[in-house]
Amino acid sequence: YKEKQFLFSFFPAHANPSNCLRGFELSLGKIFNGIGAGFIKTYATKNYQLLSDTVDEGLASVLSSGIETNPVRLEGFLPLGKPFTITRIRAQRNLILEINNRPAINIYKHYLDEKFDIFTKNRLFTLYPMGIQDRQQTRLINILDYLDDGSLAYIGPARENALANLMIFHPPSFVQSLKRRLGHEIARQHGVAFVVNSTVRKKILKDYAAEEIRLIKNQLGNNIKVIGLYADYAVYPDAATKEGVIETGNTYIALCQ
């Protein structure tokens, strides 16, 4: 019975996503076919555009049963340079303190060189998220900002002693992931697809963001209706543990039939 339950949840900016996720798991058990989204900042819409620094709060959840759901995770990021080790974090504050036993910000200085000052002034960290290997998958860590002590504020699955890379978005890799995960057999079925796309990707892709959505719709076919939104992070079920994980940067689809 539980495997035919589907949970869709939307978290507002004031909510702590980790605490909300633990609350759902305590109430409902481990998340089987669930997908969620939320914001770090507050947003509202005007003329179909997302505007920041406006108040739009709330918490919405939909729990349905008796439907089969296929969760799909679409990637498209490639590692940049050699791997490094996240040597010290402060998880309760979502801070990466040290990388390779040095202040975490130095990893960006190493790769950006003379462009580093412009990069930090314009807060362009979303262009280069970090990726760590977890159960033969690459999990993305979105860097939000840096502090005066050189630590990095983040959201995602960071942990001490994990090997990581800076990541760069590569559209051809996304197309390959799309075709691999959404095969022709899906296009012949009927249903609804809930899509959670990433504000990180939208900033990186700019005009190509609309093309990405078009590719998803074309791959799913006319028999599957698509409902979606952009969000700062997504909650997605881990295939191995069936527990929810918090991640940014990738595209997540819950295909309900």
Q: How far apart are CA 255 and CA 257, in angstroms?
A: 7
Per-residue pLDDT at 44: 55
CA distances from 241 to 30, 135, 168, 236 (A): 9, 10, 28, 11
**Amino acid in position 186:** I
Phi, psi of 26, rounded to the nearest 5 degrees: -70, -35
How far is Cα 73 from Cα 139, in angstroms, rounded to an integer? 11
pTM: 0.73
> How many CB atoms sit inside 10 A of residue 81's CB?
11
Q: Which residue has the tokens 């900042």?
A: 41
Sheet holding 224-231, edge to edge: 69-74, 251-256, 191-198, 224-231
Give me the pLDDT at residue 185, please.
57
- Cα–Cα dist 117/22, whole Å: 39
| DSSP annotation of 47 | T
**For 155-232, where are the alpha helices, taking DSSP H only?**
171-181, 184-187, 199-205, 208-220
* HSE of 154, CA atoms in CB hemisphere, 13 A: 31
SS3 category, 25? helix
Q: Is 19 helix (H, G, I), strand (E, B) or coil?
A: helix
pLDDT of amino acid 131: 92
Query: Which residues face 50 on adjacent strands?
Result: 45
Q: Tell which residue, 87, 108, 107, has the closest CA to residue 96.
A: 87
Question: What does the domain layout of the chain look like in residue ranges?
Answer: 2-75+171-256, 77-169
Phi, psi of 220 (to 5 degrees): -75, -30
Whats the size of the chain, residue-wise? 257
Question: pLDDT tens, position by position, for the chain (257 residues)?
Answer: 455 667 777 777 777 777 777 777 777 776 656 788 888 776 555 554 555 545 455 556 666 666 777 778 888 889 988 999 999 999 888 899 999 999 999 999 998 888 899 988 888 888 889 999 877 778 888 898 899 999 999 888 889 999 999 999 888 888 888 888 887 656 667 888 888 888 878 877 777 888 888 888 888 888 888 888 888 888 887 766 667 778 877 888 888 87
Q: Are strands 224-231 and 191-198 parallel, antiparallel or unpaired?
A: parallel
> What token pair was written down for 198?
């990433």
